[in-house]
Structure formats: C-alpha cells, structure tokens
C-alpha cells in the first residue's frame, strides 16, 4: 500500500440511496440507455412521472446497474432525475471523489468481484450489501483528484482511438457490400436472368427422430441452419448415421453444394459444403452444376438479399419456402466471367479479413491498455503526468 493510502470498507466511504416515492415529472433513465464502454447516455432521458416507488438521483450521485448484464454500466449524471429500481444511486462521502469511485467501479477486477455476488436464476442481481463490504484503496483527496485528472485525459485518448478503430472496422466490413452492389448493379454485356431452380437440383433436408439414438452419432455430417453464414461449412455440431439418413427426409448432398437457410432469422444465410453432408428441413440444398459456379450464386443471392427476404411469409415466424427459393431470379454472366468475379471477391475478402484482424487487434489493445491504467491507478503506480500518459496511449494506438 502506498504511503498515505488507506484501505476502506466501501460502505464507510459511500452509501446507496433508499427508494423514494416521487410524483414529480423528472428525466428518467434505465441502464439500457447507458453505453457500456463509455458510461455515456445512448439516448437522451425523457420526462416521466413515476407514481410508484423508485430511486431519485442528482448530479452528486453515481448510478450503478445491479442487474446482469448491466454490471459494467456506471453513469455519472449531471442532472436531477429518477431511475429504474435496478439501478443503485451511490453517494460518496466527503473524503471520496465521485470520479475516483467511478473509475474503481469500472475496473475489470471490480466488475468481476461484483458479478460473483449476483444471485437469482432468471434475472441475477448484484448483492449490494455484500458489495458495500468490499475494500477500496482511498488515497488523500488531492491524490485522488490527481489520479482522476490523469485517467480523464488518458482514457479520453483511448476512447478516441477506439472510436476510430471501430469506424475503420465498419468501413472495412462495408467495402465488400459496396463492391458487391457495384458488380451486380453495373453488370456488363452477356448477363442473363435465370431462375434458381432451373440452374440445378434444389431440395430441402430433414431431421431424423431425435428419440431414436441409433439415428445419431458418428457417420454423416448433418447441418442446421444456425451453422450457416461462413463461406464454407466447418465441422458440424452433430452427425447422423446411415440409418438416420434412410429413415428421414434428410438427403446426402455432395461437397461443393450450396446450402441456403429458409426459416426465420436464418433465412438466406448460406455456406458451401466443404464435405459430403446432410442437413435439416430449414435448409435448401443446391447441388453442384459444372455449368454454374455456386460461389457466384452465393454472391448473386447476397446482392439481392433484402429483396428476397421480403418474400418471407408467416405470422409468428417468417419463412421462405422451397418453392420461393427455386423461383428466385438471379443474373448470370458466362461461366468464365463468373469464375473471374469469384476470384476477385475471394481476393477482396482476404484483404478485408486482414484489415479486420488489424482493427480487432487494436480494439483488444485499447481495452487492455485501459484496464492496465486503471490497475495502476488503484495500486499507486500511476505516477506520470497526464500529458505523458496521453502520449503513451497515442504511441500504443499506432
């Protein structure tokens, strides 16, 4: 423990406000209105009259979400209002800086410790009396404010770098869709429209009875629509036996077939089979045809995805039927042009994946850097001046 610092019981340096009835119309917020990573409001609070018991707060309080998954959400209000009973307004004692406590609550180790206290099966909540027994390092107030000043500046730099990385990641992900739109809206001569069902044999799959163990096990790869979305399938979650295949509507399709999801949120999710396999009734399988590149068909369907999804029908669950899948019209050039377009998109996808990996690594680095600074702050190791820390953050961000 650094000289001049003390370990204090959290409940001795702050208190959690009790519920207070209010019939007044005040700004109201719930933890769903708070952004986890920044502790900022996602949407502006709305005026609301709360007739039942609720928590009231003002600009002196910290709002802490006690309901999982909101345990990492901490908000510093700059207005008077009231909030959900799943939020605890915390008031600091005179010897504890509000922002110092805010940063301590957002430290990953604190979040993990509080999460462990959560009880309840359906909606786990943090046990606040237990949390108030936690120990918190409390340096002298001037030292707290010095640490807060350093963290404010350093974490602002991290937040800016994180926002830029997220923006670049989004741009990288949009690049593929942008090029897809360009190719399929500005197609050249020699393209013709074809009905999907006229290009190849298309069939739906089936599911063997789950109550018969002999139908399930090692043998034939079997996919559900939830396993689709990557360019190629991978190892399936389940396999069926030859008996399961023979005694169900499941069908064995060859490697290279295109699988197309038909039901609900999996509608038009697609993958090319990387092995011979069967699949369930929520999938339409399109067998390989030497005259058609199914990777190109995948791209063509992706280009018109939103229009096709409008064809779904159903009340509780909106689905595409096998007939609607077969009736989809796509535009096709000659096979050699299909192959060239697919090659270009494969190359583009690799470049984009490289960029995505770089930006994901940056985001991971920034998150780790933030937690490293918070750890140093509460162990008495944050000795640099704010400007030096900000420069270090900029260098790490690259």
CA distances from 217 to 6, 89, 237 (A): 60, 54, 11
CA distances from 155 to 31, 38, 149, 158, 161 (A): 22, 10, 10, 5, 10
Which of 216, 282, 277 has the alpha carbon at shortest distance from 247? Answer: 216
Q: What is the pLDDT of residue 304?
A: 93
Handedness of CA 102, 104, 108, 112 (dihedral sign): negative
The average pLDDT across 230-245 equals 95
E-assigned strand segments in the chain: 6-9, 14-16, 20-21, 25-29, 46-49, 53-57, 61-65, 74-75, 81-83, 87-92, 135-138, 192-195, 202-204, 216-223, 238-240, 258-261, 270-272, 277-279, 283-286, 329-332
Q: What is the pLDDT of residue 390?
A: 58
Confidence of residue 27 (pLDDT cuts 50, 70, 90): confident
Is pLDDT of 22 > 80? no
Confidence of residue 122 (pLDDT cuts 50, 70, 90): confident
First and final C-alpha spacing in the chain? 34
Q: What is the pLDDT of residue 254?
A: 97
Q: What is the pTM of this model?
A: 0.72
The average pLDDT across 115-132 equals 86
The average pLDDT across 233-248 equals 96
The string of pLDDT tens digits covering residues 90-110 is 999 999 999 999 999 988 888
Give the three-state DSSP class for 97. coil
Q: Which residues contact 207 (CB under 8 A, 6 or more apart)?
A: 248, 249, 250, 280, 281
| Burial class of 48 by CB neighbour count within 10 A (0 to 12, 13 to 18, 19+) | middle
| Angstrom distance (rounded) from CA 13 to CA 9 | 7
Residues in the chain: 398
Confidence of residue 207 (pLDDT cuts 50, 70, 90): very high
CA R_g for the chain: 28
The residues of the chain that CATH labels 3.90.220.20 are 6-139, 192-332
**7 - beta bridge partners?**
137
In CATH terms, is domain 192-332 a member of 3.90.220.20? yes
Give the three-state DSSP class for 380. coil
| Structure tokens given for 140 | 């002298």
The average pLDDT across 26-40 equals 78
Confidence of residue 51 (pLDDT cuts 50, 70, 90): low
> 52-56, 292-296, 318-322 — which one is most confidently predicted on average?
292-296
| Angstrom distance (rounded) from CA 373 to CA 355 | 27
Confidence of residue 397 (pLDDT cuts 50, 70, 90): low
The string of pLDDT tens digits covering residues 299-350 is 999 999 999 998 888 877 889 999 999 999 999 999 999 999 999 999 999 9
Q: What is the pLDDT of residue 389?
A: 52
Percentage of residues of the chain with pLDDT beyond 70: 92
| Angstrom distance (rounded) from CA 220 to CA 210 | 15
In CATH terms, is domain 6-139 a member of 3.90.220.20? yes
Q: Mark 116-143 as b/e (b = at least 16 C-beta within 10 Å).
A: ebbeeeeebbbbbeebbeeebbbbeeeb
Q: What is the pLDDT of residue 52?
A: 57
Give the three-state DSSP class for 33. helix
Is pLDDT of 394 > 80? no
Which of 303, 309, 311 has the alpha carbon at shortest distance from 330? Answer: 303
Is pLDDT of 371 > 80? yes
Beta carbons within 10 angstroms of residue 169's beta carbon: 18
Q: What is the pLDDT of residue 79?
A: 87
**What pairing do the DSSP bridges indicate for beta strands 216-223 and 277-279?**
parallel
Which of 85, 78, 87, 97 has the alpha carbon at shortest distance from 136? Answer: 97
pLDDT averaged over the chain?
A: 88
Is pLDDT of 40 > 90? no
Confidence of residue 279 (pLDDT cuts 50, 70, 90): very high
The average pLDDT across 230-243 equals 95
Is pLDDT of 372 > 60? yes
Is pLDDT of 215 > 90? yes
Beta carbons within 10 angstroms of residue 319's beta carbon: 16
| Angstrom distance (rounded) from CA 312 to CA 344 | 31
Handedness of CA 116, 120, 125, 129 (dihedral sign): negative
The average pLDDT across 103-127 equals 87
Give the three-state DSSP class for 230. coil
| Structure tokens given for 344 | 């270009």
Is pLDDT of 385 > 60? no
């Amino acid at each position: 423990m650094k000289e001049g610092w003390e370990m204090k019981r959290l409940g001795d340096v702050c208190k959690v406000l009790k519920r207070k009835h209010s019939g007044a119309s005040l700004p109201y917020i719930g933890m769903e209105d708070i952004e986890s990573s920044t502790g900022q409001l996602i949407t502006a609070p709305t005026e609301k009259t709360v007739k039942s018991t609720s928590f009231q707060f003002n600009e002196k309080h910290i709002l802490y979400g006690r309901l999982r998954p909101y345990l990492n959400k901490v908000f510093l209000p700059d207005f008077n209002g009231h909030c959900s009973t799943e939020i605890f307004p915390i008031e600091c004692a005179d010897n504890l800086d509000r922002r110092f406590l805010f940063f301590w609550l957002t430290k990953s180790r604190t979040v993990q410790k509080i999460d462990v206290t959560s009880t309840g099966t359906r909606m786990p909540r943090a046990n606040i009396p237990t949390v108030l027994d936690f120990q918190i390092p409390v340096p002298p107030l001037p030292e707290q404010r010095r640490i807060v000043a350093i963290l404010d500046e350093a974490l602002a730099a991290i937040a800016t770098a994180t926002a830029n990385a997220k923006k670049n990641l989004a741009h990288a992900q949009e690049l593929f869709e942008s090029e897809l739109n360009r190719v399929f809206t500005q197609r050249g001569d020699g393209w013709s429209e074809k009905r999907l069902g006229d290009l190849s044999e298309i069939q739906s799959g089936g599911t063997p009875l789950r109550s018969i163990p002999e139908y399930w096990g090692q043998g034939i790869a079997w996919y559900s629509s939830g396993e689709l979305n990557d360019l190629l399938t991978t190892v399936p979650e389940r396999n069926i036996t030859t008996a399961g295949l023979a005694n169900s509507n499941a069908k064995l399709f060859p490697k290279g077939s295109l699988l197309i999801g038909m039901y609900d949120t999996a509608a038009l999710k697609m993958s090319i089979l990387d092995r011979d396999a069967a699949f369930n009734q929520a999938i339409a399988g399109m067998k390989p045809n030497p005259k058609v590149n199914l990777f190109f068909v995948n791209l063509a369907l992706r280009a018109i995805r939103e229009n096709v999804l409008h064809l779904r029908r159903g009340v509780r669950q909106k689905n595409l039927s096998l007939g609607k899948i077969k009736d989809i019209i796509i535009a096709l050039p000659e096979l050699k042009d299909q192959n060239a377009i697919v090659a270009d998109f494969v190359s583009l996808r690799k470049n984009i994946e490289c960029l995505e990996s770089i930006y994901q690594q940056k985001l991971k680095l920034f998150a780790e850097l933030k937690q490293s600074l918070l750890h140093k702050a509460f162990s008495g190791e944050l000795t640099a001046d704010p400007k030096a820390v900000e420069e270090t953050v900029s260098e790490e961000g690259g």
